[in-house]
Amino acid sequence: MTYDHILIRYGELGLKGKNQKQFLKTLVNNIRRQVEREIGDRPEVVREQGRLSIPLNGRNPADFYPALDRVFGISTYSPVMSTDLDPATIEAAVLAELGQLPATDQTFRVTVRRANKRFPIRSMDFQLQVAEKILAHFPQLSPNLTDYDLEVSIDIRFEQAHIFFERRPGLGGLPLGTGGRAQLLLSGGIDSPVAGWLMMRRGVVVEGIHFHSYPYTSKQAEEKVLHLAEKMAAYSGHFDVHLVPFTPIQEAIGANCHSNLRITLMRRIMLRIAEELADLRHAKALVTGDNIGQVASQTIESLYAINEVTTMPVFRPLLTYDKLDTVKIAKAIDTYDISVLPYEDCCTVFVPKEPKTKPKRRECHREEARIEGLDDLMQVAIQNTETVRCFANGSQAARRSKLMDLLKEKDEQDG
């Protein structure tokens, strides 16, 4: 028996009420684009009641799995074979498929759902009937309704019966592009890529902002961040990273401010710059990988002092995560091995010996006032920010230029 389509379930989207149509439209477009990036062809995606399907047209369903595994908004999906509504035909299809499985001892259950109530056999009765046929032909299989190795699922529709044997897990969440746009402070460590990915899972289009301190940090540290962006681009098609030259500001902090407030002051200034970049990119929020108590700048007191400088929402999806949970996600999305490469970022290079864990806002104001021309230094950093568009295939240098030049070019094209 040949699988003829892939059935896609979208879970949470079913709760969206009047907005469901737009969410589904975005999900369909994302599936088409992701499959096209993976296999070269844009597939047909058919909307059915409560689900989507992709006709296979003779292709192996496994060809589609890598693409579907990277689409946010998919709850589960299954390769499906279709038959007519004759009970004998359905049973024959089930037996034929089971005959292709290894002849090992396994437990199984049969699940029948009847959307078509005109089907002549009740769901429970047909489950028993199919199970009896399976036991007669495959004595190595034994029924178990709760602890089973294999589930035989039969979905009785109005024109056909659909048969499938597995439910492959999707990423869940919401379709990318339904949750607005945000800027991620991408440091190069373990946490920030995971924080960005979690926001993407809620439908938010994310771009990266990386503050670099060349020559105190190496070009390898910058390339590390761009490689992380490539991994994230696997879920979105591309991922833009804005590279902000931060060295003059850090030198000014080091020359004029008390060392134990150095990290807090850097984070405050980073947020101020990030907010301006977010405005330029029409983003409405910032994202960080902060986790309460993990380092000195991530105590509640520090976050309170740092947050003061922006009125833009700052999302911290990892705030309550255990580090082991964050590492688990980092490994799952393939960013962990890159994040642990031993290239220092700007914060680790300039970290003081005894950073203050409970900074006061008035202390921050006093120290920042000692930096002559801070606003001008920030504007120079913004003017010299470079933007790199990264792709999952590694072509990260496809588009690299000053952010302000890109915005000017876009305005000319739009105008």
Provide the annotated binding site for ATP: 185-186, 210-211, 267, 289, 298
The rounded distance, in Å, linking the Cα atoms of 210 and 345 is 9
Rounded-to-10 torsion of CA 127, 132, 135, 138:
-80
Is 27 strand, coil or helix?
A: helix
Q: State the DSSP string of 282-320.
A: T--EEE----TTSSGGGSHHHHHHHHTT--S-EE-TTTT
Residue 336: HSE in the Cβ half-sphere, 13 Å Cα cutoff:
12
Please check whether residue 198 is in contact with residue 356, taking contact to mean a CB–CB distance below 8 angstroms.
Answer: no
Please check whether residue 243 is in contact with residue 274, taking contact to mean a CB–CB distance below 8 angstroms.
Answer: no
The rounded distance, in Å, linking the Cα atoms of 331 and 393 is 19
Residue 196: HSE in the Cβ half-sphere, 13 Å Cα cutoff:
35
Please check whether residue 15 is in contact with residue 52, taking contact to mean a CB–CB distance below 8 angstroms.
Answer: no
Stretch (H or E) spanning 326: helix 323-332
Q: State the DSSP string of 128-196.
A: HHHHHHHHHH-TTEEE-SSS-SEEEEEEE-SS-EEEES--EE---SB-TTSS-EEEEE--SSSHHHHHH
Q: Which residues are annotated as a binding site?
A: 185-186, 210-211, 267, 289, 298
Q: State the DSSP string of 198-235.
A: HHHHBT-EEEEEEEE-TTTS-HHHHHHHHHHHHHHHTT
